[in-house]
């Protein structure tokens, strides 16, 4: 005989029952997750409060420290006030100086023109150039009365005395008579005129200037027919721009120009009738 299973089969579940079971499981899961999140937020809040309590703890300050801090602040404020007062007083002084001294230097010229005053002259700069003062002093002679006579002539670099073998003489004629003889070879220069303090040859005629003319011995070089240099000292006549001039062999010579003198030349100064005859002799 066939045996039949007497156990009853499990009841069949409908779709409606399955959906209810699923929803209940989701609710349980949701509550569990929410409880976990709540616990986590509670732990975070407790941790934050613990940290805040640790930072909010303030140290204790004694009365002495508060007093010292107050005194330091008082001293600092006082120094700042004193510095401000000094700065203000200095600025006031500067303003007073500016008002007392007048306009700025850049405006001084315009203010002077407005007030009718002449603008200030620029400061003279030092000048290290030659002024000619030493040269003038070397060409001047002081007198006993305090006056100074300035020489109109100064010997040139080529001035030389003639050789002892060359004898130059100047014979002074008045009419047909010889009134004087001058040995020209004794010196290199002869200044002619009426100024007794400086001249070497006195000529007292009123038509002759104080420093009238010069007889100057000069060294000159020439080349001979073979090309060799030959030097010789010769006499020259120079008129110092006199008022009435100088005559050489009855002809007036130009001013400030050397003219060579030769043996037996005739020289006259101004309008004087005296004649000066040059003679040369070699020993």
Determine the topology of domain 153-282 in CATH: Tumour Suppressor Smad4 (2.60.200)
Digit-coded pLDDT (tens) for 11-34? 555 555 566 667 777 777 667 777
Residue range 144-161, pLDDT digits in tens: 787 888 889 999 999 999
pLDDT, position 283: 82
Q: Give tens-digit pLDDT for 234-246.
A: 999 999 999 999 9
Q: Are 140 and 151 in contact, with CB atoms under 8 Å apart?
A: yes
Encode pLDDT of 172-214 as tens digits.
Answer: 999 999 999 999 999 999 999 999 989 999 999 999 999 999 9
pLDDT tens figures, 57-116: 455 556 566 566 666 767 666 666 665 666 655 555 555 544 545 555 555 555 555 555
Spans of all domains in the chain: 72-100, 153-282
Mean pLDDT of the chain: 77
- C-alpha distances in Å from residue 253, one per residue of 237, 261, 268, 279, 280: 9, 12, 11, 20, 22
Confidence (pTM): 0.52
Structure confidence at residue 158 (pLDDT): 93
pLDDT band at 56; cut points 50, 70, 90: very low
Sorted by sequence, the CB contacts under 8 Å of residue 145 that are 6+ apart come out as none
Q: How far is CA 269 from CA 177, 193, 209, 274, in A?
A: 18, 9, 9, 8
């Amino acid at each position: 005989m066939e045996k039949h299973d007497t156990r009853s089969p499990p009841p069949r579940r409908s779709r409606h029952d399955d959906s209810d079971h699923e929803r209940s499981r989701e609710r349980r899961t949701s509550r569990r997750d929410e409880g976990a999140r709540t616990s986590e937020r509670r732990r975070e809040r407790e941790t934050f409060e613990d940290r805040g309590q640790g930072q909010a703890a303030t140290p204790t300050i004694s009365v002495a420290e508060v007093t010292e801090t107050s005194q330091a602040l008082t001293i600092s404020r006082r120094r700042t006030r004193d510095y401000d007062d000094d700065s203000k007083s200095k600025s006031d002084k500067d303003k007073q100086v500016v008002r007392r001294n007048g306009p700025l230097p850049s405006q001084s010229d315009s203010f002077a023109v407005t007030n009718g005053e002449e603008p200030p002259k620029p400061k003279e700069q030092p000048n290290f150039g030659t002024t000619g003062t030493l040269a003038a002093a070397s060409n001047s002679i002081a007198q006993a009365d305090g006056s100074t006579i300035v020489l109109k002539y100064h010997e040139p670099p080529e001035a030389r005395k003639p050789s002892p073998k060359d004898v130059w003489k100047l014979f002074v004629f008045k009419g047909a008579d010889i009134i004087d003889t001058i040995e020209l070879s004794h010196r290199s220069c002869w200044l002619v005129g009426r100024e007794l303090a400086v001249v070497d040859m006195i000529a007292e005629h009123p038509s002759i200037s104080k420093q009238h003319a010069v007889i100057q011995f000069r060294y000159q070089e020439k080349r001979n027919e073979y090309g060799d240099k030959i030097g010789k000292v010769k006499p020259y006549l120079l008129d110092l721009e006199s008022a009435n001039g100088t005559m050489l062999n009855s002809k007036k010579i130009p001013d400030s120009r050397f003219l060579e003198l030769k043996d037996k030349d005739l020289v006259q100064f101004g309008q004087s009738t005296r004649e000066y005859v040059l003679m040369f002799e070699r020993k």
